[in-house]
With several copies, the nearest count.
Chain A
Amino acid sequence: AEPLKIGMTFQELNNPYFVSMQKALNEAAASIGAQVFVTDAHHDVSKQVSDVEDMLQKKIDILLVNPTDSTGIVSAVNSAKKAGVVVVAVDANANGPVDSFVGSKNYDAGVMSCEYLGKAIGSTGEVAILDGIPVVPILERVRGCKAALAKFPNIKLVDTQNGKQERATALSVTENMIQAHPNLKGVFSVNDGGSMGALAAIDASGKDIKLTSVDGAPEAITAMQKPDSKFIETSAQFPRDQVRIAIGIALAKKWGANVPKVIPIDVKLIDKSNAKGFSW
């Protein structure tokens, strides 16, 4: 018989987070003898829609979609469903008739990181948010962070700037925030793409500014374990597990099972105490 065909479209493939996810996908597919097609949308949702259309031409059975935009992807989801393909969203949900969504509790991640940050700076002082690309998971983290910070009456959110989830930009943006707010005590970065740039800026400034983030990327884990690291916490996600679960769910659906609409994955608070040994 024809081997099972799995297509996965990523929002980007130059982030270790998604690269790890892709590796797990390949391993899992290999173990069940499935064929895999992968595309990279470069954060362009119209390209992503086209990529999905192309994969549908190849008669895939399962579509794993990591949407760069939840609403924009809907027509691709519709086409896939029309073609009888099982669709599971991963990491960020997609609108439309997806069969299931496997993703982190992003709001919780924001809350977790910013609570931790608030406590670490003694519940008082100025903090800033290093924002990212405006897509749902990221926006959710910011929302969660703000909710957490609101619980500290003496903490003031003095600045929100966009580091574009990219090291170099995050570096200069954080440098500027540090200059603009000499009393800055803490920074929350929406993911580890930006956090490493922010850390470089903080280290170079020599100031005691605490940094928390989301993801649990390998560099973040390493950085956290250095003595006196300013990087104190990351709310870790599980990209490999996400994709493994997604494949499982998709297969189950294909075999006729009734699958849950949403499979929220807990995030895990990682700090110096438990960083050693953690990896995706």
Chain B
Amino acid sequence: MSKLTMEPKTATVDSASPGAPVRLTWAGLKRSTIFYPFVGLVVVCLVMVFASNSFLSAANIENIARQVSINAIIAVGMTCVILTGGVDLSVGSVMALSGTLAAGLMVSGMNAVAALVVGIAVGLGFGVANGIFVAFAGMPPIIVTLATMGIARGLALIYTGGYPIDGLPDWVAFFGNGKVLGVQMPVVIMLVVYLLAWVLLERMPFGRYVYAIGGNEDATRLSGVRVARVKLIVYGLAGLTSALAAIVLTARLMSGQPNAGVGFELDAIAAVVMGGTSISGGRGSIVGTLIGALLLGVLNNGLNMVGVNPYVQNVIKGGIILLAIYISRDRRRK
């Protein structure tokens, strides 16, 4: 310690709490980015319970969890990307490419595990390519990933010739509807991905860098963080989670679909933002994204359960998204 003189009271470090967790107060809770999304989820669930008596059955809850899994997995990578202030529009197409490639290689006789690995590697590779353009060439994410979205879709169509790829080995179905300890595989995969992402973002330096880049990229760079590398990894993660989602989807459909995932990028973005993550980066949480994905899943499922006309569903869904975001909007703005 230096012998700096100063009035003790000007050094009002909160000596009570070094290392102590932030206290759980009502005010603190309301300030958390997941408070309103969580309330929104609860409210929507309650409404659905009253509107449809089959909504709250064990089978339907299982159903929702399984349906949510694909979007939720993609949204993990999307969360990281959005936290850095970027966006990834290519996730749906990359998913289609990974899935058709893995399926195609399996059917063409490649060792199944190797085929899966290739599929995942291609997803990761596309993500890394996005990352290189964004991080090292300094190009805007929205347009980079719009371009790779077209490229990945084109490649999937060229590879399959437009046909879905069928005839996968039976054990692939395990990833789609097998169970581990009574929980379905898509849900297991989803939960594992979320757990890992949570550790990464909340408990490891990498996560801090992700948030810091979204908060102030220049300051983060000048403080010695390898910003470009972090971004590269973040886009790589988005490619990786797209590829994982591709495996779940391929297993659920038991085929590789070149036209799968159209519009999935918007669903994933919606899940992230409805989960309280700021679209301009720097603020948010992975738990919020899971809540956001559940909220969208419950909406889709619930409106079907109630038997709402599909055209009208569009309108109701839009209205509820508006309402949810209205309630959870950042009130701190000047």
Contact, chains A and B (beta carbon distance below 8 A): yes
Residues in chain A within 8 A of chain B (CB atoms): 13-16, 18-19, 37-40, 42-47, 49-51, 53-55, 57-59, 69-75, 95, 131, 133-135, 139, 158-162, 166-168, 171-173, 175-177, 179-180, 182, 196-197, 200, 204, 218-219, 222
A19 — which chain B residues lie within 8 A by C-beta? 161-163
CB distance from B184 to the nearest CB of A (A): 10
Among B63, B70, B253, B313, the residue within 8 A (CB) of A57 is B63
> With A46-B249, A168-B253, A168-B260 in contact, do A54 and B162 touch (Cβ < 8 Å)?
no
Where the two chains meet, the residues of B that have a C-beta atom closer than 8 Å to any C-beta of A are 52, 54, 57, 59-60, 63, 66-67, 70, 157, 161-166, 173, 176-177, 249, 252-255, 257-263, 300-301, 304-307, 309-311, 313
Asked if B304 contacts A55 (CB within 8 A), the reply is: yes
Residue pairs across A and B with CB atoms within 8 Å: the count is 177
Q: Establish whether residues B59 and A179, one from each chain, have CB atoms under 8 Å apart when the complex forms.
A: yes
Whether the Cβ atoms of B67 and A50 lie closer than 8 Å is yes
Q: List 11 A-B contacts (CB under 8 A).
A: A14-B258, A43-B259, A50-B67, A57-B305, A58-B305, A59-B54, A71-B164, A134-B162, A135-B259, A162-B310, A168-B249
Q: Most chain-B Cβ atoms within 10 A of its Cβ — which of A55, A166, A172?
A: A172
Which chain A residue lies CB-closest to B262? A44
Residues on B with beta carbons closer than 8 Å to the beta carbon of A159: 307
Docked CA distance A75–B311 (Å): 26
Do A13 and B157 touch across chains, with their CB atoms under 8 A apart?
A: yes
Closest CB in chain A relative to B304 CB, distance in Å: 4
Looking at the assembled complex, report how far the CB atom of A176 sits from the nearest CB atom of chain B, in whole angstroms: 4
Question: Smallest CB-CB separation from B251: which chain A residue?
Answer: A75
How many angstroms between the C-alpha atoms of A15 and B164 in the bound complex? 8
A129, B306: Cα distance in complex, Å: 16
How near does chain A come to B120, taking the closest CB pair, in angstroms? 19
Which B residues lie within 8 Å of A54 (CB)? 63, 300-301, 304-305
Q: Which chain B positions have C-beta within 8 A of A172?
A: 67, 300-301
A13 to B54, CA, bound (A): 26
Closest 8 CB pairs of A and B: A134-B162, A176-B304, A40-B310, A54-B304, A72-B253, A14-B259, A19-B162, A71-B255
**The one of B70, B177, B259 that contacts A204, using a Cβ cutoff of 8 Å:** B177
Shortest C-beta distance, B155 to chain A (Å), equals 13
Since A73-B253, A179-B63, A219-B166 are in contact, a sample of 6 more A-B pairs with Cβ atoms closer than 8 Å, ordered by chain A residue number, is A14-B157, A44-B260, A57-B63, A75-B173, A75-B254, A133-B259
**Does A179 contact B157, Cβ atoms closer than 8 Å?**
no
Chain A neighbourhood of B162, CB < 8 A: 13-16, 18-19, 134, 139
On whether the beta carbons of A134 and B157 are closer than 8 Å, the reply is yes
Q: Are B255 and A72 in contact (CB under 8 A)?
A: yes
Cα distance A15–B257 when bound, in Å? Answer: 10
In the bound complex, how far is the Cα of B167 from the Cα of A222, in angstroms?
Answer: 10
Within the assembled complex, what's the spacing in Å between the Cα atoms of A18 and B54? 28
- Distance in angstroms from A39 CB to nearest chain B CB is 6
A168 partner, pick from B60, B157, B257, beta carbons under 8 A: B257
